Amino acid sequence: MHYWLMKSEPEDVSIDDALAAPNHTVAWTGVRNYQARNFMRDAMQVGDGVLFYHSGGSNPGIAGVAEVASTAYPDPTQFDPSSKYYDPKSRPEEPRWMLVDVKALRRTRYLSLGELRDHPDLADMLLLKRGNRLSITPVTSAHWRILCKLAAS
């Protein structure tokens, strides 16, 4: 089993939106970074743990726990000219961008980025590395346990 931190702008899809969706499941559309795409395409498996992270705004942080609910498949927004995620160079027969479905399991106590930075056992977490802007990052099992414990307190 793998663990992931997946960032979403709450205006696009929040943990509450995911919990309100049918089967608590949303398609993780709009990823336009090759490394993040490769995580979804090559490494994510159904059942992997996900930390649902609200990015942007004045107070980013972990807002919930979810799980990967599908294998990777082509992101339909890349083919839609009316989508802000449209990619005119992507073709249905050779899609560039993939997505997975994510099933929200529960809202957690909000763990702000500042709180995460203050926790010494998380100092080497990829999210906290200077210059890291990836929307999807792997999370170690040790960090997963710490974060789940913090989120439950």
The ranges assigned to domains in the chain are: 3-152
Task: Give the model confidence (pLDDT) of 107-142 as tens digits.
Answer: 999 999 999 999 999 999 999 998 888 899 999 999
Its pTM stands at 0.94
* Sequence-separated (6 or more) residues with CB below 8 Å from residue 41: 72, 98
Answer yes or no: CATH 3.10.590.10 is held by domain 3-152. Answer: yes
Contact by Cβ (8 Å): 129, 137? no
The values of phi and psi at residue 3, to 5°, are -130, 145
Is the predicted pLDDT of residue 153 greater than 80, yes or no?
no
Average the pLDDT over 58-77 and give the result: 96
Average the pLDDT over 95-104 and give the result: 98
What's the chain's average pLDDT?
A: 95
Average the pLDDT over 68-81 and give the result: 98
